[in-house]
Amino acid sequence: MRDAVTSLIKNYDVAGRYFDRNAIDTLKEYFDSGTARVQAAAAINSNAAALVKQAGSKLFEELPELIRPGGNAYTTRRLAACLRDMDYYLRYATYALVAGNTNVLDERVLQGLRETYNSLGVPIGPTVRGVQILKDLVKAQVVGAGITNTTFVDEPFDHITRELSEQDV
């Protein structure tokens, strides 16, 4: 797993270049937001179960057909799997948030996930919507923890939704 710093170093090393102004600005931004990233992770970690539960409830309120007979989250087992997956997304999004890099999402979560979901008949649209709901709840949690600039929270969740979203359908 790489973070913003190691990714930047790797890119400049491969190119055989010294850091330029853009690299220095990127590093400065990463370090300036470091305390907020750690505080956000602490706020998420202390309320992870509640966040997942709220996100699930809101998703099923918006899309009740998912929990009706024949719906993808109809049985207790399927509902538990849905909430488990939301918990995975939240945990790995938190890792990416702290790292300032979405690499961990690609390596540990997203690689082959859309294909797996498609093969299992798991609908992608509601999954994407669930991640969006989770992002909104996390941002509210982070604001509640006293962090005013939450733009860095968007990146990992938006990356997940962008990578899962259907393309060329």
Least Cα distance to 155 among 138, 167, 130, 143 occurs for 138
To which residue do tokens 């170093």 refer? 9
Q: What span, in angstroms and rounded, lies between the C-alpha atoms of 130 and 132?
A: 5
Question: Lowest mean pLDDT: which of 64-68, 122-126, 141-145?
Answer: 122-126
C-beta separation of 163 from 152 below 8 A: no
- Give the mean pLDDT of 126-155: 96
Query: How would residue 166 be classed by pLDDT, with cut points 50, 70 and 90?
Result: low
pTM of the full structure: 0.89
Residues 6+ apart with CB under 8 A from 32: none
3-state helix, strand, coil in the chain (%, to 5): 75, 0, 25
- The SS3 call for residue 163 is helix
